[in-house]
Amino acid sequence: MAVVESALRADAARNRERIVAAAMEVFAERGLEASTAEIAARAGVGEATLFRRFPTKDDLVTAIVAMQFEEAAALAAECLEDDDPWRGVERFLYGMAERASVDHGVAGAAKEKCVASPSLAGERRRLIDLTSQLVRRAQKADALRDDIAGQDLMFLMSAVASLSDLPFPGLRADLWKRYLGIFLDGLRPEAATKLRPGAPARKLLEAPEVE
Amino acid sequence: MAVVESALRADAARNRERIVAAAMEVFAERGLEASTAEIAARAGVGEATLFRRFPTKDDLVTAIVAMQFEEAAALAAECLEDDDPWRGVERFLYGMAERASVDHGVAGAAKEKCVASPSLAGERRRLIDLTSQLVRRAQKADALRDDIAGQDLMFLMSAVASLSDLPFPGLRADLWKRYLGIFLDGLRPEAATKLRPGAPARKLLEAPEVE
Amino acid sequence: MAVVESALRADAARNRERIVAAAMEVFAERGLEASTAEIAARAGVGEATLFRRFPTKDDLVTAIVAMQFEEAAALAAECLEDDDPWRGVERFLYGMAERASVDHGVAGAAKEKCVASPSLAGERRRLIDLTSQLVRRAQKADALRDDIAGQDLMFLMSAVASLSDLPFPGLRADLWKRYLGIFLDGLRPEAATKLRPGAPARKLLEAPEVE
Amino acid sequence: MAVVESALRADAARNRERIVAAAMEVFAERGLEASTAEIAARAGVGEATLFRRFPTKDDLVTAIVAMQFEEAAALAAECLEDDDPWRGVERFLYGMAERASVDHGVAGAAKEKCVASPSLAGERRRLIDLTSQLVRRAQKADALRDDIAGQDLMFLMSAVASLSDLPFPGLRADLWKRYLGIFLDGLRPEAATKLRPGAPARKLLEAPEVE
DNA sequence: GATGAATGAGCGTTCATTCAT
DNA sequence: CATGAATGAACGCTCATTCAT
């Protein structure tokens, strides 16, 4: 009995994963307004099965965004182990942008979703915790301006994502590297304080508090 | 005769403007997927009237984006007359971000549209021409890094727009000023060349060519 | 005053004719479901003007059909003057089919319309009167089977029209001549009585009474 | 399992048939421009169900025409077994006309469709094959004029259909029998060659080639 | 009288979601 | 549990007809 049950669950779990994978593909290709029918077909399951796992299309999107949050957290953790604290920050934002440049549609979803669902609170907290460590470590090494907070990196993810998704035909696909470069330059301590010797340094608005 | 004719056109033109205004409102509230029915209702006209002026929903969006391009160009022209070349650049990006923070949905549209429609080629060219002047003027005054081109400002509009549109509830509405500040700091000449005396300056990807 | 009035009427009449001509063109190209807007545009008049002359789209179609009835009558009259009574019949049906092969959409309309509108009763009566003469003249010359009536020719117009409008791509445009030929052969007196010496001649259903 | 599966399919198939039946009814009553909504309502299904089976209104029409082609082929096959070769031809055309007199709108559709859709090529070929046999058999028995080809019968179907669809109110419903009689008389061998001893026989345009 | 503008009603079609098997 | 079938509600769009100038 237990064997049968876990067998079923294993099957169900595999379906779940197939659905999520298919959804990421389809969303990336067609944008978020892609139909559930296409996702189910791509996943090789019936449409009703999809709705059994994700009662709402929105739930499916949320699940994907949660996954992305987890991947972001994993990336942050990895970057924390870079010997060079600044390179850790750089690699994190670079990695986020790179993913976004593949994701297209889903990237936008993340922005819409990091808002609403309290269901993502856990992932969000964990991500902010890790980026805070990234930030503080770089600040201690005097490699990152002091007026940056951990949660900034999370918000910047979406700006960086939009940098990665300029749909201008004929533009090189990695143009986002150009704009990310400018952005990274702006994150240096000297950018905040030493740029204009005579002039007063720009005072940033204070960092947002999340939750 | 001319009076009668222009009277008719005036009436039609007023409806046209009401439709565009309503569309901007509704798009800002509900996003681009808002229905033409709601836009027509908000404008106080029949749905068919909307379609008489804009044979396709897409045409309506394009018209709005064209308007935004023109407003952007007007803003750029205005900023060109600022005594301080750098402040001109600053005010331009600040103004674009500010508008985007009201526009919400339409901002995203701009990104989608600046791509596709060749119908916007004229506006695009004019805008790039003006931002190029802004850029060159600031560069001559040694207030802007040399590796920036005029078209960058146009692309940055959309990144800046996304900065303005973080839909996190409870965040202060003008949080975008924080991130724009960082970005502006990254545009300074020192950000490109003098930040890390010992380290090699970051080399940006070359600027994109448009059209 | 009278001058002005008749001037107006002349103008109006010219508009009316332009509308009818445009409608025939457009109906022939696009079928009967072509829009009044296109007809008005083709005629070079405002859409409202069209509706002033023909309060209903249906009225416009009816007017065209009436014209066709008149042209049919004119053709019948002309054929009545052919020296050879049979050739008169032949030319009439040939002429009707030829027109239909140009008319396309309108031909079908005629069929639909010869039904309904009592407004066409006059034209119909006149046409039947002429075709009856055609028929009787040919019968007296023993060139046409006896069991044919004048109104048959009118009904046959529409069958002949459909013969002219086989929309099979790649078929020669004048294929209708083939089928009309067969049909004409069936109208000969021998076709009715002498075909099968041993067998009884086919007895046709009696001719329809109209009005 | 197979039972369950075929049960599901049976239900769906029943709906499909109800839709087709309803469509034939409605098209017959209102013509091809009848709305999908009415068809769905008549079939007792939701409108979306109709579109699940027939993704396009056109697909529905095509399906019906395909059915008619198949029925025509079945009729032709049946007529091939008539002892009297000529009666076989007669019964075929009579049967086609009879059906058309019920079909009304759909008959016209057939004409429009036998053109375009390559999807009907198979049915068309099969039908032409059968009518060719009908024709040849009758010609061998010297019961049908020699200058007729198998594909003629297919084209004649539509002419015959229009004969069946004279929408004149007050006319007897089976008036088409009258005109079909004339037509059949024209198909006899004597109609082609022996009608006018002194005069040259009419030379028909050559038969069309299909496909 | 002539016109461009306006519109209500309708159309074909789509889709997230529920139901029956 | 998994599925194909079903569907209501909505959408973008068209058009014959009326209205205001």
How far is D34 from C11, CA to CA, in rounded Å? 39
- What's the longest Cα–Cα distance across chain C? 78
Residues 143-202 of B with CB under 7 A from strand F: none
pLDDT value for B45: 94
- Closest Cα to residue C107, out of C151, C156, C149? C156
Sequence-distant (6+) residues with CB within 8 A of B122 are none
Tokens matching residue C206: 């009696």
Compute the CA torsion angle A112, A117, A122, A128 (nearest 10 deg): 30
pLDDT value for B204: 74
How far is D201 from A196, CA to CA, in rounded Å? 106
pLDDT value for D203: 74
CB-contacted nucleotides of strand F (7 Å): 1-21
Asked if the model's pLDDT at residue D154 lies above 70, the reply is yes
Cβ of D175 and C205 within 8 Å? Answer: yes
Query: What is residue B3's three-state secondary structure?
Result: helix
Vertex A128: Cα angle to A126 and A131 (nearest 5): 110
CB-contacted nucleotides of strand E (7 Å): 1-21
Whether residue A162 contacts residue B158, with contact meaning beta carbons closer than 8 Å, is answered with: yes
What are the angstrom distances between the C-alpha of B17 and each of B5, B14, B96, D50?
18, 5, 22, 41
pLDDT value for D201: 60
Query: What is residue B147's three-state secondary structure?
Result: coil
Of A38-42, A141-145, D152-156, least confident by mean pLDDT is D152-156
CB neighbour burial string for D153-166, b if at least 16 within 10 angstroms, e if fewer: bbbbbbbbbbbbbb
How far is D200 from D194, CA to CA, in rounded Å? 9
Confidence of residue B121 (pLDDT cuts 50, 70, 90): confident
Sequence-distant (6+) residues with CB within 8 A of A153 are A76, A89, A92, A93, A131, A134, A135
Sequence-distant (6+) residues with CB within 8 A of C31 are C104, C105
- Residue carrying the six token digits 């440049």: A101
Q: Which among B33, B162, B210 has CB closest to A158?
A: B162
Sequence-distant (6+) residues with CB within 8 A of A139 are A145, A146, A148
Tokens matching residue D152: 């003629």
Whether residue A148 contacts residue A139, with contact meaning beta carbons closer than 8 Å, is answered with: yes
Cβ of A115 and B192 within 8 Å? Answer: no
Strand boundaries in chain B, DSSP class E: none
Q: Which among D159, D175, D202 has CB closest to C163?
A: D159
Element (H, E) at C138: helix C121-140
Say yes or no: Cβ of A57 under 7 A from any atom of strand E. Answer: yes
Asked if the model's pLDDT at residue C132 lies above 50, the reply is yes
Asked if the model's pLDDT at residue D121 lies above 60, the reply is yes
Q: Which residue has the closest alpha carbon to E6 C1'?
A: B49
Q: Which nucleotide is nearest to B4 (CA to C1')?
A: F21
Which of the other chains make 3 or more beta carbon contacts under 8 angstroms with chain A?
B
How far is C8 from C14, CA to CA, in rounded Å? 10
Percent of chain C with pLDDT over 70: 88
pLDDT value for D1: 39
- Closest Cα to residue D195, out of C182, C137, C88, C150? C182
Section A159-167 average pLDDT: 75
Asked if the model's pLDDT at residue A210 lies above 90, the reply is no
Choose between B91 and C205: higher pLDDT. B91
Sequence-distant (6+) residues with CB within 8 A of B62 are B113, B117, B119, B120
Of A95-104, B18-27, C190-199, least confident by mean pLDDT is C190-199
Confidence of residue D199 (pLDDT cuts 50, 70, 90): low
Residues in chain A, how many? 211
How far is D82 from D104, CA to CA, in rounded Å? 28
Q: Which residue has the closest alpha carbon to F1 C1'?
A: A8
How far is D208 from B145, CA to CA, in rounded Å? 76
Could you read off the pLDDT of C95-106 as tens digits, one per residue?
998 988 888 777
pLDDT value for A203: 74
Whether residue B39 contacts residue B59, with contact meaning beta carbons closer than 8 Å, is answered with: no
The DSSP annotation for A17-61 comes to: HHHHHHHHHHHHHH-TT--HHHHHHHHTS-HHHHHHHSSSHHHHH
pLDDT value for C1: 43
Of B41-45, B91-95, D172-176, D206-210, least confident by mean pLDDT is D206-210
Q: Tell me the nearest-neighbour CA distance from B5 into chain A, angstroms.
A: 41
Report CA(B49)–C1'(E9) in Å, whole number. 14
Q: Which among A168, A179, A206 has CB closest to B156?
A: A179
Whether residue C152 contacts residue D100, with contact meaning beta carbons closer than 8 Å, is answered with: no
3-state per-residue secondary structure call for B120-157: HHHHHHHHHHHHHHHHHHHHHCCCCCCCCCHHHHHHHH
Strand boundaries in chain D, DSSP class E: none
- Closest Cα to residue C155, out of C117, C88, C79, C209? C209
pLDDT value for B137: 97
How far is C55 from C35, CA to CA, in rounded Å? 15
Sequence-distant (6+) residues with CB within 8 A of C187 are C89, C144, C145, C148, D182, D186
Asked if the model's pLDDT at residue B3 lies above 70, the reply is no
Cβ of A163 and B159 within 8 Å? Answer: yes
Could you read off the pLDDT of B150-187 as tens digits, one per residue?
988 888 877 777 777 776 777 788 888 888 888 898 89
- Residue carrying the six token digits 């990310």: A180
Percent of chain D with pLDDT over 70: 87
How far is B96 from B149, CA to CA, in rounded Å? 17
- Closest Cα to residue B169, out of A114, C71, D204? A114
Percent of chain D with pLDDT over 90: 45
Whether residue D49 contacts residue D40, with contact meaning beta carbons closer than 8 Å, is answered with: yes
What are the angstrom distances between the C-alpha of D55 and each of A46, D17, D61, D105, D112?
19, 15, 11, 21, 19
pLDDT value for B4: 42
Section B62-84 average pLDDT: 93
Report CA(C26)–C1'(F21) in Å, whole number. 30
- Closest Cα to residue C184, out of C155, C160, C162? C160
Section C169-184 average pLDDT: 84
Cβ of D115 and C169 within 8 Å? Answer: yes
Select from A114, A156, A162 the residue whose CB has the most chain B CBs within 10 Å, as the one to mutate to test that interface. A162
> C90: exposed, middle or buried (C-beta count within 10 Å: 0-12, 13-18, 19+)?
buried
Q: Which residue has the closest alpha carbon to E5 C1'?
A: B12
Asked if the model's pLDDT at residue A137 lies above 90, the reply is yes
Percent of chain A with pLDDT over 90: 42
Instruction: Count helices and strands (H / E) in chain B.
Output: 10, 0
Cβ of C182 and D196 within 8 Å? Answer: no
Whether residue A173 contacts residue A98, with contact meaning beta carbons closer than 8 Å, is answered with: no
Whether residue C172 contacts residue D208, with contact meaning beta carbons closer than 8 Å, is answered with: yes
- Closest Cα to residue D67, out of D17, D11, D131, D134? D17
Cβ of A208 and B112 within 8 Å? Answer: no
Sequence-distant (6+) residues with CB within 8 A of A100 are A107, A157, A160, A161, A162, A164, A165, A176
DSSP 8-state secondary structure symbol assigned to residue B203: P
Q: Which nucleotide is nearest to C15 (CA to C1')?
A: E2
Could you read off the pLDDT of A50-88 as tens digits, one per residue?
999 999 999 999 999 889 889 999 999 999 999 999 999
Query: What is residue B8's three-state secondary structure?
Result: helix
Phi (first) and psi of residue B90, to 5 degrees: -55, -50
Residues 15-74 of C with CB under 7 A from strand F: 33-37, 47-48, 51, 55-58
How far is C153 from C132, CA to CA, in rounded Å? 8
Which of the other chains make 3 or more beta carbon contacts under 8 angstroms with chain D?
C
Of B8-22, C21-35, D120-134, least confident by mean pLDDT is B8-22
Tokens matching residue C181: 């030929």
How far is B132 from C40, CA to CA, in rounded Å? 49
Section B67-94 average pLDDT: 94
Percent of chain B with pLDDT over 90: 45
Sequence-distant (6+) residues with CB within 8 A of B154 are B72, B114, B124, B127, B128, B131, B210
pLDDT value for B202: 67
- Residue carrying the six token digits 């190029």: B132
Whether residue A145 contacts residue A188, with contact meaning beta carbons closer than 8 Å, is answered with: yes
Number of Cβ within a 10 Å radius of residue D136:
15
Say yes or no: Cβ of D15 under 7 A from any atom of strand F. Answer: yes
Choose between C113 and B141: higher pLDDT. B141
Report CA(A44)–C1'(E19) in Å, whole number. 21
Sequence-distant (6+) residues with CB within 8 A of B199 are none
Residues in C closer than 8 angstroms to D161, CB to CB, are 162
Q: Which among A165, A185, A205 has CB closest to B186?
A: A185
CA A187 distance to own-chain centroid: 19
Choose between A176 and A161: higher pLDDT. A176
Report for A157-171, B166-180, C35-49: range of highest mean pLDDT: C35-49
Nearest CA in chain A to B181: A204
pLDDT value for B1: 38
Whether residue B76 contacts residue B131, with contact meaning beta carbons closer than 8 Å, is answered with: yes
